[in-house]
Chains A and B, each alone.
Chain A
Amino acid sequence: MKLKRFKEIALDGTVRQNPTLRLVLGTCPTLAVTGMGAISCLGMGAAVIFVLVFSNLIISLLRNVIPDKVRIPCFIMIIATFVTIVSMFMEAYMEKLFATLGIFLDLIVVNCIILGRAESFASHNPVLDSVCDGLFMGIGFTLSLTLMGIVREILGKGALFGVQLWNFKIAFFAEKAGAFLTYALFIAIFNVCYNAVERKLKHKAARNAVAIEREAEAAASTEAKEA
């Protein structure tokens, strides 16, 4: 896979098409898990990365085999298998995290991010691309979730990664309404910055492209003149 393509996929997953802040997919775990503390966010993110990578891998491998009519049941079956594996593994080796995440671990099956990427990317892209896409989408999800989790934990509980920092807390942020507000603010701020940066970059890129074209034309015409 070319480096350019890799960079494209990596940037898409983490920034340009960040599932939480740009695509606004998987809001249910976002709202719930960010309130449980930053460590739970990391754990949730790790689980989602695992499921994304492996389900994208398998679906991409089978993309020419699965007929169109039954693709949804097949995708869900594959995703559910990996979610169950993660869940069993966590229950065996990380009981505390498993108990904290509880039902949200099982809900990864219907997390829009995973089915969305399977449907829109893995089902018509080569294996390595799909795996990278899954990995970076998962990383993007984890990063945004952890950042929001940190903000909510500091403001709502006065703690960070479980360590109590101070006693000042705004309980609103630990509650459900606070989840919505934090999420909304993150989306707003991220998109404002993103749009500003994107506009500048696109304009610059377009002008560069035209300049290169013009130079080529000029070079061609001088060649023609000389000839």
Chain B
Amino acid sequence: MIDLLLRIGHESFQWTTVLIALAIAFGVSLLLGVLILVINKFTQVKEDPRIKEVQDCLAGANCGACGYPGCAGFAKALVEGTAKLDSCGQTPVDKRIEISNILGIEVGGNAEPTIAVVSCSGGVKCRDKYDYQGYGDCVSQNLLAGGRKACEVGCMGAGSCVDACPYHVIECREGYAHIDPDLCRSCGLCIQTCPKSLIKRVPVSAKVYVACSTQCRGKDVTTKCEAGCIACGKCERNCPTGAIHLVNNVPMIDYSKCIHCYKCLEGCPRKCIKYVHPEDVPASSETAEQAK
């Protein structure tokens, strides 16, 4: 080994080979560099500079809920005019306005940011049609006679939405899915995934939501689920502003009219209207049941 090192300064250090190698390297790299540039001139693709500007305004989460490949793809589609700004639930309002200015399009849609809530609280309180033992989640279970729940729109609690959520804010407890309202970014992937379409968007400022989606009423509901809405209409009568109405036996809240009085929640005999934020639940034991 030492004899190899001793070649430093030895006569065998051939300058000629080194120089030849350098000359070849110089020549070849020059040639190839010029070749690259020449071809580049002919094949250059011009990209609209607005795409970059729009992309910088977007939330940059790359969640894919808009249906385009990442924020870059969405920006490109927006510039091309094939995408709607509404598709992205995460971009804050000021950025949306900026984008609409750059592109000269309307902002449209909801101005207020939203979060997702699961419109079902049956879970273990809802009877099972059959005992499902098998692989997979809600989507695959739904293929088998609409899932194991007696209620056609009951949450199966098997976690398809849990897997879909890129922010890991959904959890299945007591047999049905709970979305953490503080962490939800309203990307909408869980909404797309739920086979029962149970997940809905409510404004961030919402304090109550309807935790049932069944269009059945009365005894039909009580035989299936303890927490299901029987469409008694009490909430509609109690609401001072007329914000809540029964539509097809499903209570719907118009959040622009809601004044956060909680009368609908307190009056509900079935306790199927719930607080959005668990910390809003009063400490008293009676209303503690309203907690998630």
Contacts and interface: CB of A to CB of B under 8 A. Distances in A.
Answer yes or no: are A and B bound together in one complex. Answer: yes
Contacts of A70: 33, 36
B169 interface: yes
Contact of A73 (B32, B180, B183): B32
Interface in A195-227: 199, 202-203, 206, 210
A202 B32 contact: no
A202 B168 contact: yes
A206 B183 contact: yes
A3 interface: no
A93 B1 contact: yes
A4 interface: no
Contacts of A206: 167-169, 180, 183
A199 B168 contact: yes
Contacts of A73: 29, 32-33, 36
Contacts of A210: 182-183
Contacts of A199: 168
A92 interface: yes
Contacts of B167: 206
A181 B37 CA distance: 44
B169 A69 contact: no
A69 B33 CA distance: 9
A69 B37 contact: yes
A178 B36 CA distance: 42
B4 interface: yes
Q: By CB atoms of chain A within 10 A, which of B32, B37, B182 has the most?
A: B182
Which secondary structure dominates where chain A touches chain B? helix
Contact of A92 (B4, B33, B169): B4
A210 B185 CA distance: 14
B40 interface: yes
A73 B31 CA distance: 12
A199 B163 CA distance: 10
Contact of A203 (B36, B37, B168): B168
Interface string A72-98: 010001000000000000001100000
A206 B168 CA distance: 9
B252 to A, nearest CB: 29
A69 B168 contact: no
Nearest to A77: B29
A72 to B, nearest CB: 9
Nearest to B162: A199
A31 B36 CA distance: 34
A126 B182 CA distance: 36
A73 B168 CA distance: 42
Nearest to B182: A210
A95 B236 CA distance: 86
Nearest to A204: B168
A69 B4 contact: no
24 contacts: A69-B36, A69-B37, A69-B40, A70-B33, A70-B36, A73-B29, A73-B32, A73-B33, A73-B36, A77-B29, A92-B1, A92-B4, A93-B1, A199-B168, A202-B168, A203-B168, A203-B169, A206-B167, A206-B168, A206-B169, A206-B180, A206-B183, A210-B182, A210-B183
Interface of B: 1, 4, 29, 32-33, 36-37, 40, 167-169, 180, 182-183
Given A92-B4, A210-B183, 13 more contacts: A69-B36, A69-B40, A70-B36, A73-B29, A73-B32, A77-B29, A93-B1, A203-B168, A206-B168, A206-B169, A206-B180, A206-B183, A210-B182
> Which 4 A-B pairs give the minimum distances between C-beta atoms?
A210-B182, A202-B168, A203-B168, A206-B183
